[in-house]
Amino acid sequence: MRIMVLGGGVVGVTTAYQLQKDGHDVVLLERNAEVADETSWGNAGMVAPGHSFVWSSPKAPMTLLKSLVLKDQALRFRLSADPRLYSWSWRFLMECTATKARRNTLLKHRLAAYSQAVLHEVLAGEDVAYDRNDRGILYFHRTQQALDAGVQNMKLLESDGQLIRVLDRAQVAALDPALAAAQDRIVGAIHCPTDETGDPALFTRALAAIVTRRGGEIRTGTTLTAIETSGNAVTRVLTDRGPLKADAYVLALGCGSAAVARTIGIDLPIYPIKGYSLTIPVGNRPLPPTIAAVDEHNLVAISRFGDRLRVTATAEFAGYDKSHKPADFAFMKRVTQELYPEGADYGRAQMWAGLRPMTPTNLPFFGRRRFGNLYLNTGHGHIGWTMSHGSARITADLIAGRTPAIPMDGLLA
Ligand X SMILES: Cc1cc2nc3c(=O)[nH]c(=O)nc-3n(C[C@H](O)[C@H](O)[C@H](O)COP(=O)(O)OP(=O)(O)OC[C@H]3O[C@@H](n4cnc5c(N)ncnc54)[C@H](O)[C@@H]3O)c2cc1C
Residue from 216, 272, 357, 360 that binds ligand X (CB under 6 A)? 357
Residue from 50, 136, 216, 256 that binds ligand X (CB under 6 A)? 256
Residue from 136, 216, 254, 404 that binds ligand X (CB under 6 A)? 254
Length of the chain: 413
Rounded Cα distance between 74 and 252, Å, is 28
Q: Which is nearer to ligand X, 181 or 412 (CB)?
A: 412
Residue from 18, 20, 43, 56 that binds ligand X (CB under 6 A)? 43
If one asks whether residue 383 binds ligand X (CB under 6 A), the answer comes out as: yes
If one asks whether residue 244 binds ligand X (CB under 6 A), the answer comes out as: no
DSSP conformational letter for 262: H
Q: Which is nearer to ligand X, 187 or 261 (CB)?
A: 261
Rounded Cα distance between 26 and 402, Å, is 19
Q: Give the full edge-to-edge strand order of the sheet including 233-239.
A: 224-230, 233-239, 242-244
Rounded Cα distance between 92 and 73, Å, is 19
Residue from 272, 343, 381, 390 that binds ligand X (CB under 6 A)? 381
Residue from 1, 21, 22, 32 that binds ligand X (CB under 6 A)? 32
If one asks whether residue 280 binds ligand X (CB under 6 A), the answer comes out as: no
Rounded Cα distance between 176 and 136, Å, is 11
What's the sign of the alpha-carbon dihedral 89, 103, 112, 399? negative
| Nearest distance from C-beta of residue 345 to ligand X, angstroms | 21
If one asks whether residue 46 binds ligand X (CB under 6 A), the answer comes out as: yes
What's the sign of the alpha-carbon dihedral 349, 355, 360, 366? negative
Residue from 223, 232, 235, 263 that binds ligand X (CB under 6 A)? 223
If one asks whether residue 362 binds ligand X (CB under 6 A), the answer comes out as: no
Of residues 341, 317, 403, the one with CA closest to residue 367? 403
Contact between 353 and 275 (Cβ < 8 Å):
yes
Q: Give the full edge-to-edge strand order of the sheet including 365-368.
A: 217-219, 25-29, 2-6, 248-251, 374-378, 365-368
If one asks whether residue 49 binds ligand X (CB under 6 A), the answer comes out as: no
If one asks whether residue 31 binds ligand X (CB under 6 A), the answer comes out as: yes
Rounded Cα distance between 132 and 293, Å, is 15
| Nearest distance from C-beta of residue 399 to ligand X, angstroms | 18
What's the sign of the alpha-carbon dihedral 93, 97, 98, 103? negative
If one asks whether residue 44 binds ligand X (CB under 6 A), the answer comes out as: yes
Only one of the segments 128-136, 169-177, 182-190, 380-388 lies at the binding site for ligand X (rule: CB under 6 A); that segment is 380-388
If one asks whether residue 382 binds ligand X (CB under 6 A), the answer comes out as: yes
Q: In this structure, what are the phi and psi dihedrals at residue 296, rounded to the nearest 5 degrees? A: -70, -20
If one asks whether residue 18 binds ligand X (CB under 6 A), the answer comes out as: no
If one asks whether residue 132 binds ligand X (CB under 6 A), the answer comes out as: no
| Nearest distance from C-beta of residue 273 to ligand X, angstroms | 8
Contact between 396 and 15 (Cβ < 8 Å):
yes
What's the sign of the alpha-carbon dihedral 15, 21, 24, 30? positive
Q: Which is nearer to ligand X, 308 or 380 (CB)?
A: 380
If one asks whether residue 11 binds ligand X (CB under 6 A), the answer comes out as: yes
Residue from 304, 333, 356, 389 that binds ligand X (CB under 6 A)? 356
DSSP conformational letter for 318: B
If one asks whether residue 312 binds ligand X (CB under 6 A), the answer comes out as: yes
In 3-state terms, what secondary structure has residue 213?
Answer: helix
| Nearest distance from C-beta of residue 205 to ligand X, angstroms | 12
Only one of the segments 141-149, 209-217, 326-334, 349-357 lies at the binding site for ligand X (rule: CB under 6 A); that segment is 349-357
Of residues 177, 162, 181, 188, the one with CA closest to residue 295? 188
Only one of the segments 44-52, 118-126, 131-139, 173-181 lies at the binding site for ligand X (rule: CB under 6 A); that segment is 44-52
Which residues contact ligand X (rule: CB under 6 A)? 7-12, 29-32, 37-40, 43-46, 48, 223-224, 252-256, 275, 277, 312, 354, 356-357, 378, 380-386
